[in-house]
Amino acid sequence: MTKQEFLFHLQGASLVALKFAENYIKNKLTTDFKYNVVLNASTDDPSLSQFDIYREDDGKMELDITDQEVVELLYRNGKVPVWIDINVLKSSRKSTTFNLLCSGRYSDDKKEYYYNDNGSGPFGIKSPKLPVDYKEGKKFKLK
C-alpha cells in the first residue's frame, strides 16, 4: 500500500464513520476532520516474525492531528497497522474528531488487513461510544 492509498482509505473510512455516527448522535458533524491516535492497542506476541512491531509505541497517543499527520505517523517502511478501529469521538463547530485505535502489528500484505474484504483496508468502522443509558433508536449528544 502506498502512502496515497493509505490516505485514501483513511479519508474514505472517516466519511463512512461520520455517516454511521449520524445514526446515533444529535450533534452536527463537520467534514473538517481531526484524529486522536492510540498506538499499539493490541497485545502482540513479539515472535510474530511476519509483522513489524514497534514496542516503543506502547502507551503512546497522538492527539488532534490531521489526516496527513496520521499518514506520516502510521505509514512505516511501506507498512501500516493490520487493523485500525475508527469512530467519531467528539464534535465542535469547526471539526469532527475521530478516535483511531491501532494494532501494534504492521504489514504490507493486504491479506493481513482485518477489514480488507469490505474494501476499507485496515479500517474498521465502529459506532461512537454509547452512553451507559443508551436506548436503541434514540440519538444522544456527544460531550
Does 47 score more than 80 pLDDT? no
Question: Is the CB of residue 41 less than 8 Å from the CB of residue 103?
Answer: yes
Domain ranges of the chain: 3-125
Question: Is the CB of residue 125 less than 8 Å from the CB of residue 62?
Answer: no
Q: What is the mean pLDDT of the chain?
A: 94
Pairing of strands 33-38, 96-102: parallel
Q: Write the single-letter amino acid at 77.
A: N
User: What confidence category does residue 66 fall into, taking pLDDT thresholds of 50, 70 and 90?
Assistant: very high
pLDDT at 135: 93
| 8: its cell numbers | 485514501
Tell me the pLDDT tens digit for each residue of 85-105.
999 999 999 999 999 999 999
pTM comes to 0.93
Strands of the 96-102 sheet, one edge to the other: 61-65, 33-38, 96-102, 84-91, 123-125
pLDDT at 43: 79
pLDDT at 133: 92
pLDDT at 96: 97
Question: Rounded distance, CA 94 to CA 87, Å?
Answer: 18
